[in-house]
Structures are given as C-alpha cells and as structure tokens.
Amino acid sequence: MERRTLLLCGLLALTGCASSTGSTRKPGVGSARAGDRIAGLADVPDGSGALVPVGADGQLLLVRSGSSVRAFNPACPHQGTIVNPPTAGVITCPTHRSTFDPSTGAVRSGPAEKGLAEVPVRVTGQDVVLA
C-alpha cells in the first residue's frame, strides 16, 4: 500500500466513521425494506426512545409516546454524530450539544440548523415496522 493511501486511511479512521455508540451500523434504514419489523413496541421505552438496529446494516432512533412511535435518522444534521435517545423531553447530540424535539425531530438549539430526518414507520400489533 502506498504511503499516501495509508495516510488517507488513517485520516478517515480518525475523523469519525465510528458513531458515539461504537456501532458500525450506518444511520438510516440501510438494506431494510417497507414492511420489515424493526422493533417490538416493548423495546421502546414509553416517553423516551431507543436506538435500534434496522436490517443488516442500518439504525434508527425510535421515539415512543404511548402506542405512537416515530422514527428518525439518528445522524445529527450538523456533523453526523449519532444522537442520544430523548431524556427529559429532548434529544441531544453528544458532540456539540444540538437539541431536537422528540415529537417532530425539529431542531431546538444549534449548532445544527436542520432537524432530524423522519422515517415513516407504523405500529402493527406489538411490532414497529417500516412503512
């Protein structure tokens, strides 16, 4: 391997391919398809949420209020850090502390300028599935 290639690989490793959760999964639905079960309703704490694996390679942030579940791509719109599930009514990015509304994904405070991207899901019985 050329020295130049080695330097590039090292730089990529240092600049954040890994998430704050240590997961190698990519934010989003990955290879999952509409209709795929992504979690049980019981896997998502009511009034809070959870990061869940999706398909073979994706991950989503699920937020639950009673029997209603919304899903968001957990990549912070600022620089891509995986955000934390909501606590005390707010989703927070651990890197630069942007905050987001857990019911809509809208940004509450920056530096992020955009909200979290919502992913359509539905609750079917006791399962959360991609819509």
Chain contacts with ligand FES (rule: CB under 6 A): 76, 78-79, 81, 93, 95-96, 98, 111-112
Least distance to ligand FES from the beta carbon of 92, Å?
A: 9
Least distance to ligand FES from the beta carbon of 97, Å?
A: 6
Least distance to ligand FES from the beta carbon of 126, Å?
A: 33
Nearer to ligand FES, 27 or 58 (CB): 27
- Contact predicate 41/123, CB 8 Å: yes
How far separated are the first and last CA of the chain, in Å rounded? 45
Nearer to ligand FES, 76 or 119 (CB): 76
- Contact predicate 53/43, CB 8 Å: no
Nearer to ligand FES, 25 or 78 (CB): 78
Least distance to ligand FES from the beta carbon of 17, Å?
A: 14
- Contact predicate 100/107, CB 8 Å: yes
Nearer to ligand FES, 30 or 110 (CB): 110
Give the C-alpha separation, 3 to 9, whole Å: 10
Backbone angles phi, psi at 57, to 5 degrees: -145, 0
Structure-token pair, residue 11: 């730089």
Give the C-alpha separation, 128 to 102, whole Å: 17
